[in-house]
Chains A and B, each alone.
Chain A
Amino acid sequence: MIIFDHVSKVYPNGTVGLDDVSLRIEDGEFVAIIGRSGAGKSTLLRAVNRMHQITSGSLTVNGTDVTGLSGKPLRKFRRGIGMVFQSFNLVTRTSVIKNVLSACVPDMPFWRVLLGAFRKEDKIRALESLDKVGILDKAYMRADQLSGGQQQRVALARTLTQNPHIILADEPVAALDPVTAKQVMEDFVHINQELGISILLNIHHVELALEYADRIIGIRAGKIVYDGPSKQVDQAVLDTIYGEDIASEAAV
């Protein structure tokens, strides 16, 4: 459960990232955050695992107050939250399995990290994660030999290996072609429904958001302007989120 309570974020240069945001996301929800670029989608997402520091208000994740976290407790907290990025953020010149195994790095003795000597049970876990996203056969290939969609699946497998209860996805399909984007979105649905992991993603393809997410959060200039089931999103809602002219374009 994620609770935002009057959260604001002002960047050092004066830009307002979030403006008095209050929200509640229950366990097991599939939430998509939509809005124009620069509206604060990414800031909202990254506040959850404290990749961005909020300036005021309070943010609680599963009973832990995120604002006060730093050092070891912060790292322990982040272990429970997976994150997937627009640019996949894989080490492209090493093998797929090594990339997935890097999720185990925080729990390993340092000499094992240095030598890259992973334990058998970790390897099995990594292979199982790869199997869940359907690319077990690619385990020993170099990551840069995979297509974009497959690379994003590797990133997903890496996240699953952490055993997270929440997955944050920052524009996960923006770098993919439409067909692959749909496949990756289906992966998210599958993970959400079968593993019961909450998914919070920001996305600028409105139609993908409406098709796959249960709940939509619309954000504009750092403020939440819509929060409700995706079925109730209509043209009027999109107009408030995007401004009229752009919304009609985006909805096509």
Chain B
Amino acid sequence: MSLYDRIFRPRRYRLSDGTVVEEKRSRAPLVILILVVLTAVSVRITGFNFSVLVKKGSKFFDILKAMFPPNTAYLGKIWQPLLDTIKMSFLGSFIGAVLAIPFAIAAASNIVTNRVVVFLVRLFLSLVRTLPTLVCALIATYIFGLGTMAGTCAIAVFTFAYVGKQLFEIIETVDMGPYEAMEALGATKLRAFVTAVFPQVLPTYLSVSLFCLEGNVRYASILGYVGAGGLGLIMNEKIGWREYDSLGMILIVLFVTVMIIEAVSHALRKRLT
């Protein structure tokens, strides 16, 4: 019996045949209380103010309005950074997804029996996941210099952590029967894994990687802001010069690109599963 049940005793019902049924008290009041307290604290600390929002809310649309009509003449200068962004996300996703494979295998408790190894690899994946991508990109610009290399690196790290976690969870839900059969006919663990487990996880793995790629194209545009190449670089520039109509053009191009990549990847993922 948990603490909550000890304070708020379960309600007891006696049925007509004499059996007693206990109904635990609802947790809802506790949850609501916590939410209210957290909201109150958050409102205080962030300075949330509804009247400001009502009074000056229209200013939000100032920049948005300035984006239209977009500056179509700027279109010609967008292609290069756009291609850079796409290349960056593609290469980064690929490297990250491939690097994730050995780590995911080592983190899967049904393949690796050594609990210490599983724990350490999972801790490592978790730690990498907590590292904000932006910080990663910044660090990468210090190491590799400004440019697409830093962006590729940051995306690879992000993809590595994301795909790594998803993949080891997929591996753990796999049917181990074929693996057992492979071991019974004299295959090494590695060969048994490649022939029996790999075909089972491959479609989901590719699907997760493609999904990650979709998100990365969007994300890559932010990374340019810290100098990691691509669209973010020119976005930052246009914001600095207050050329919002050019910014509008960039965003429209990005929107269309993301839609196309999502459509292609969605179609591919449908075929995979």
Contact = CB atoms under 8 A, between A and B. Distances in A.
Interface of A: 49, 51, 74-79, 81-83, 85, 87-94, 98-99, 102-103, 105-106, 110, 113-114, 155, 158-159, 162
Given A91-B199, A93-B199, A93-B200, A75 B184 contact: no
Instruction: Please name the 7 residue pairs, one residue from A and one from B, whose CB atoms are nearest each other, closest first.
Output: A89-B177, A78-B186, A89-B181, A83-B184, A79-B186, A75-B186, A106-B186
B185 A106 contact: yes
A98 B192 CA distance: 14
Contact of B183 (A51, A81, A155, A159): A51
Contacts of B177: 85, 87-90
B31 to A, nearest CB: 41
Given A85-B177, A89-B177, A89-B178, A94 B185 contact: no
Interface residues of B, number: 20
B186 A159 contact: no
Interface of B: 175, 177-178, 180-188, 191-192, 194-196, 199-200, 203
Contacts of A94: 199
B238 to A, nearest CB: 48
25 contacts: A51-B180, A75-B186, A81-B184, A83-B184, A85-B180, A87-B177, A88-B177, A89-B177, A89-B180, A91-B178, A91-B195, A91-B196, A91-B200, A92-B175, A93-B199, A99-B178, A102-B196, A105-B182, A105-B187, A106-B185, A106-B187, A106-B191, A158-B181, A159-B185, A162-B185
Contacts of A87: 177
Contacts of A158: 181, 185
A113 B200 contact: no
B176 to A, nearest CB: 9
A76 B195 CA distance: 18
B113 to A, nearest CB: 14
B181 A93 contact: no
A49 to B, nearest CB: 6
B181 A83 contact: yes
Nearest to A103: B185
